[in-house]
Amino acid sequence: MTKYVSTTDLTTVIKPQDAVWQAADSVTTPLAVDLVPLIFNQEIAPLTILQQLYAKFLPDLDHAQIATAIETATQTSFKEKQLSKFVTPDYTEVADQQSTFNFSELFGGPTMSSADIATLAITQLAKPTQTLVATDPETIISLGHTLLDSQKLIGIYNQRHLPAILQTELAELQVQDNVALFLSKQPAADVKTLLTRHADYQLIDQSVLLTQIPQIAAIANLIAQANQAQVNLVIPGTKLNTVLAAVYAQQLGMPVAKINIAVAEDSDLAAFLKGQSTKLAPDLRANLLRLAVLSQPDVLNNPAEMIAALTHNAALNFVFVETSAVYAKIRFLQTKLDYTAGFETALTALAVPLDHAETVETVVLALVDPFVTPEVILRGLTGRVDGKVGFDAVQILRQIVGAKPARLITHLKGIKPVTVPEFTTAVLD
């Protein structure tokens, strides 16, 4: 049976129902251990895999309760019940096909990001009157779309560099009576203050293990669509909960050969892995500690030992990539492979290994719909910044690539901008 322990004391056992909800603000960081491999069958439907995984990670929950929660959640967010879409590019225009790879798109939900998968069933499994708190805009949007009428959501986020499309999605949420959004230059600190005052509120971030369970099912779904016996996964370093999900998938017996993590050279994660002094976001550090302990159980909670454990793990490969190369990659993917990729997906593709065994298929995880950041793609394709953003950029991009954006884009065009208030201490009362 799956057991949960503290990453800083492997003898401290945590109840499953408590462990899967604990976020980075908690005193302890829980870790799932003693996973018994699943009987992996590529013919099993994603819905069945989800039920098996929730039963494994939440053994105290009634199976009927799990089935109801999953059925309701998937009907709301994934009517076709496919968590990932496998895409094999056309390589006929590429002279050197040594490093061919495929994409697995995990943004087929209603809000165009993998957060729809990560937050799957969270509102169904939470208390009917629970107040949820989040700082990541994609997570806020996904939770807002599945929130029960009796639940509340408080979103505190930094608007700097936030794409216009995401700002419009957040504006649509602002009209809901049970959603309150606030801007902040230091959302993590403000959330900590909020949770200190309201201990019954539940933070949902990348460190919450419930966000990893459905991502394991999505990985199983993409493996079932692959053409080889094993897969190499390539995942953005901004989504370490997805990396952790891949590690758990491997432990559960799924044929994951290698997990490549694309790390932007100018990111905090890159600075940390290079031994430089940097302050990591709480959920980022929590998941790094989990990965380190899974690599080396006796690792201490200090940077040097964590880095050693992470970089010496044969299953993990941290690949540093230059963000300046992303725009050229966007152009290559579009013109040579006829694949439209946004910034994060193109950056992730830069971490594809140069060669691999013939029996292993390399799969880049695309976690955000490219039309969320159309201005970035236009810059990659045209080589210039023309000032077009949001829906104006979408229209131009449609004409260039001939691709049809998700229905949500058309729907969002009718949403009017709103003024989001700044977070203040008055919110605490």
Tokens found for residue 53: 């995984």
242: enclosing H helix or E strand: helix 240-251
* Sequence-ordered list of residues with C-beta below 8 angstroms from that of 278, at least 6 positions apart, any chain: 268, 271, 272
Structure-model confidence comparison of residues 24 and 122, the more confident one? 122
Structure tokens, 104: 């697995």
Phi-psi region of 34 (alpha: psi -120 to 50; beta: other; left: phi over 0): left
Please indicate whether residue 399 or residue 234 has the higher confidence score (pLDDT). Answer: 234
* Domain extents in the chain: 82-109+210-412
Tens of pLDDT, residues 343-363 = 999 999 999 987 766 778 999
d(CA 126, CA 133): 12
C-alpha–C-alpha distance, residues 12 and 4, integer Å: 8
Q: Is pLDDT above 90 for 138?
A: yes
pLDDT tens per residue across span 36-71 = 888 766 667 778 889 899 999 998 888 888 888 888
- pLDDT bucket at 229, cuts 50 / 70 / 90: confident
- Smallest CA-to-CA distance from 371 within 338, 335, 396, 336 is with 396
- Residue 371's pLDDT band (cuts 50, 70, 90): very high
At residue 326, what is the residue type?
V
pLDDT of residue 234: 97
The listed CATH number (3.40.50.1100, 3.80.10.10, 3.90.226.10, 3.40.1190.20) that belongs to domain 82-109+210-412: 3.40.50.1100
Hey, is 235 helix, strand or coil? strand
Indicate the pLDDT class of residue 97, thresholds 50, 70 and 90.
low
Pairing mode of beta strands 30-33, 3-6: antiparallel
Burial class (CB in 10 A: 0-12, 13-18, 19+), 217: buried
Query: Alpha-carbon distance 145 to 220, whole Å?
Result: 25
Which pLDDT belongs to residue 39?
74
pTM for the structure as a whole: 0.94
For residue 216, the model assigns a pLDDT of 95
3-class DSSP state for residue 372?
helix
Which stretches within 154-202 are classed as H helix? 164-173, 187-197
* C-beta of residue 350 within 8 angstroms of C-beta of residue 385: no
Rounded mean pLDDT, 103-110? 92
Q: How far apart are CA 205 and CA 122, in angstroms?
A: 12
Where is mean pLDDT largest: 18-27, 200-209, 226-235, 381-390? 200-209
- Mean pLDDT along residues 291-302: 86
| Mean pLDDT value of segment 304-331 | 94
Spatial separation of the C-alpha atoms in residues 47 and 74, rounded to whole Å:
8
Query: What distance in Å separates the CA atoms of residue 335 and residue 328, rounded to the nearest whole number?
Result: 10
Q: How far apart are the first and last CA of the chain?
A: 42
pLDDT in tens, 171-194: 999 989 999 999 999 999 999 999
Q: Is the pLDDT higher at 354 or at 333?
A: 333
Rounded CA-CA distance 228/70 in Å is 29
Task: Give the pLDDT score at 9.
Answer: 85
Distance of CA 34 to the CA centre of its chain: 24
pLDDT band, very low/low/confident/very high, at 96 (cuts 50, 70, 90): low
The pLDDT value recorded for residue 73 is: 86
Q: Where are the alpha helices (DSSP H) in 201-350?
A: 213-225, 240-251, 268-273, 282-295, 303-311, 326-337, 343-349
Kindly report the average pLDDT of the chain as a whole number. 90
If phi > 0 it is left, if psi is from -120 to 50 it is alpha, else beta; for residue 60 that is alpha
Nearest 5°: the CA angle 321, 210, 119 is 75
User: What is the per-residue pLDDT for 28?
Assistant: 81
